[in-house]
Structure 1
Amino acid sequence: MHPLDAELDIARRVARQAGAILLEVYATPFAVHDKAGGMGPVTEADERANAFIVEALRDAFPSDGVVAEESDNTSGASRFERCWFVDPMDGTQEFVNRNGEFAIHIGLAIAGKATLGVVYRPVGDTLYWGVVGQGGFVEHAKGRRALRVSDTAEPSALRLVVSRSHRSRLTDAVVRRLGITHEQACGSVGLKCGLLAEAACDLYLHVSDKSYRWDNCAPEAVLRAAGGILTDLGGTPYAYDGSELQNRRGLLACNAAAFEHVAPVVAGFAREAGILR
C-alpha cells in the first residue's frame, strides 16, 4: 500500500463518473455560453461535471480544500495543507468542436506542490494517473502500462505538441532556434502532458497567460510521476498554495533529458516577448 492509494482510487473513480456526465451532454445538441471576463466557452457539461466532482471530493476528504474551475474560488487553497485542483473539462473548445480532445483533471497538491494527478479522456476511455515519486500509468482498452518520458536530449530531435488554437510567434521562434521539425496538435493540456508522459512527444509550450492552476495541477503530477518536468516559461515551478491561481508566466513541459537545453532558449524568448519580467 502506498500512502495515497485511497486518494488515487477515489480520484480515478470520480473522473470516470464525471466522464459519463460529459458524454451524456456530448450526445445532445448542447448550448454554448461565453464565460464572464472573456474566459472562454462553457457548457452544461462543464457545470454538471464540476458540481459532481466537487461534491464527491468534499464528501470523501472533508478536511481538504477544493479549487475548481466552475466554482467560486475566492476561498483559495491557502488555508489547506492539502488541496484538490479540479478542471471538470479541460478543452471545452474541443468539446464544442466535437473532436474528442477534452479531458477531466483531478489533481491533489500537498504543501503547495502537485503530488497526485488523474487526467481522463472520456472519448476513447483513456486514463492517465500518477503520484510524484511513485510512478504513473496509462489505462485504456488495450490494458495498462507504466508511464515514462522519453530520454531524447538532442533539441532538434524533440517532438513538439502544440495547441489547436492560436499559434504564437514565441513558439515559432523556439522551433526555429532548436531546429525542431516534428510537431503534432492536440487539445487539452492534460492530454498533451499525457503524450509526454507516455513518450509519444517530448515538449509542450503554452505561451499565453490564459491558463490556471486547475489546468496544470493534475497534468504536472502525472508528468513528474513519469520523470518529466513542468514549470513556467522561465523554468520556475508553480506553487499550488493559493497565493495565485492564474499562470501568468505560461507553461513549459519537457522530458528531463532535454530540459536544460530547452529551458534557457524558451526563457530568453519569453523575456523578449515581455512574458517574463
Structure 2
Amino acid sequence: MTELESAQRRADLAERAARAGAAVAEEAFRSGIAVETKNGKTDVVTQADRDAQRAVIEVVREEYPDDPVVGEEDEELKAVPEEGPAWIVDPIDGTNNFVRGIRVFGTAVAAVIDGEPVGAATVLPALGDSYLAGPDGVALNGEPIAVSDRADPELCTVCPTIWWGYDDRDQYAAASKAIVDRFADMRRFGCAQAVLAMVASGALDGVLTNVQANPWDSVAGVHHVREAGGTVTDLEGERWRHDSRGLVASNGAVHEHVLEAAREIER
C-alpha cells in the first residue's frame, strides 16, 4: 500500500468513525439527557459524550487495534504523540449547544501520523452536514469545497472561537472588538470544529483565538481548512501545530488581517 493509499484509508475510517459517534449523539439530542460539569460551570458533559466516544473508538479499533487515541472524555490520551499514528476524537464538539437543543454540534475525528493530520471528518448530524478531508482535498456532503475568495476585509465575516473563562472575559471582549473594527461582521457558533469547517466551505472567512486549543477541538478542522486552500497559523504567523498557542485560520487572502485581530486580543 502506498503512502497516499494509506492516508486515504485512514481518512475513510475517520469518516465512518465520526458517523458512528454522530449517530449516538443525534439519538440523544433533545432527549432530556442529564447534564454534568467537569472543570467549571460552563464545562459540561453528558453520557452521550462518553457513549459517542466509545462508538468512535470501536470503529477505529476494528482496523487499527493498537493505535493510540487522543480523546476528550474518559481516560484516553490528552496529548498528541509526536511519532507514529494516532487518532484524535471529539465525540460531541459543542456540548453546550447540544444540551440546549441547538443544532450546531458534531463529532470530529482526525487521523494523524507523526503529529500531522492525514485525514479528518466532522459530522454535524442535526444540520445534515458531513465534512471529509483526505490527503487530496475536502468535501461537504460529497461535493468538493474551497475557501472563499474574498480579499476585502470589509466584506468578510470572522468568528472568535474556543471559550474564554470568566477570568478572561476582557480577552473575549477584545477579540470581539478587534473583529468588528476590521471586518463586515462577526459570528459565534459555540462549536470550534463547525466554524473551522465553515472556513473550509467559504461560509466564514476567518476564525481566531489567542488561547491554546485542545487537539480534539482543532486538528480535524485545521486539516479541512488547509485541504480547502486556506491558511492556519499560530499568533506568530508560523504554521499551526496541535501544540501551538493561538489558532488563526482564514481563506488566505485576508490572513494578515485576521492575524492582526488575534494579536490585538492581548494588547
TM-score (norm 2): 0.86
Distance 1:73 1:235 in 2: 31
Q: Report what 2:59 is aligned to.
A: 56
TM-aligned CA deviation for residue 262 of structure 1: 3.0
Percent same amino acid among aligned pairs?
27
Work out which of the residue numbers 252, 255, 259 in structure 1 matches 2:251. 255
Structure 2 equivalent of residue 115 of structure 1? 118
Aligned: 1:182 with 2:178: no
Matched, 1:206 2:202: no
1:124-203 correspondence to structure 2 within 5 Å = 124-132=127-135, 134-139=136-141, 144-162=142-160, 168-178=172-182, 180-203=183-206
Moved more, 212-221 or 73-82: 73-82
Q: SS of the residue aligned with 1:117? A: strand
2:240 touches 2:247 (CA, 8 Å); kept in 1? no
In 2, Cα distance between equivalents of 1:71 and 1:54: 12
Q: Is the 8 A contact 1:234 1:270 kept in 2?
A: no
Determine the C-alpha separation between the residues in 2 that align with 1:106 and 1:163: 19
Residue number in structure 2 paired with 1:12: 15
Distance 1:190 1:11 in 2: 14
- In 1, the alpha carbon distance for the partners of 2:253 and 2:59 equals 38
Question: CA 1:47/1:75 → structure 2, altered by over 3 Å: closer, same or farther?
Answer: closer
Within 2, Cα distance between the matches of 1:173 and 1:183?
10
Aligned mates of 1:183, 1:39 — CA distance in 2? 22
CA distance in 2, matches of 1:49, 1:158: 35
- Residue 36 (structure 1) shift: 4.1
Q: Which moved more, 1:153-162 or 1:116-125?
A: 153-162
Offset from partner CA, 1:216-262 (integer Å, 9 cap, x none):
0110111111011223333333434xxx5xx6x33221111111343
Choose 226-235 or 69-78, whichever is displaced more.
69-78
When the two chains are superposed, the root-mean-square deviation of aligned CA atoms in Å is: 2.5
State the match for 1:237 in structure 2.
239
Distance 1:6 1:164 in 2: 30
> What is the one-letter code of the residue matched to 2:175?
T
SS at match of 2:109: strand
Aligned to 1:219: 221
Deviation at 1:76, TM superposition (A): 4.3
Write the letter of the residue equivalent to 1:259: H
**2 CA distance for matches of 1:126 and 1:262?**
26
| Residue type of the alignment partner of 2:159 | V
Which of 53, 66, 71 is the aligned partner of 1:68?
71
Are the structure 2 counterparts of residues 208 and 39 from structure 1 closer, same or farther at C-alpha, using a change threshold of 3 Å? farther
Aligned residues of 2:82 and 2:115 also touching (Cα < 8 A): no
Q: Residue 118 of structure 2 aligns to a residue in which SS?
A: strand
Whole-angstrom distance in 2 between the partners of 1:99 and 1:164: 17
**TM-score of the aligned structures, taking structure 1 as reference length:** 0.83
Instruction: Tell me the residue number matched to 1:22.
Output: 25
Q: Is the 8 A contact 2:79 2:215 kept in 1?
A: no
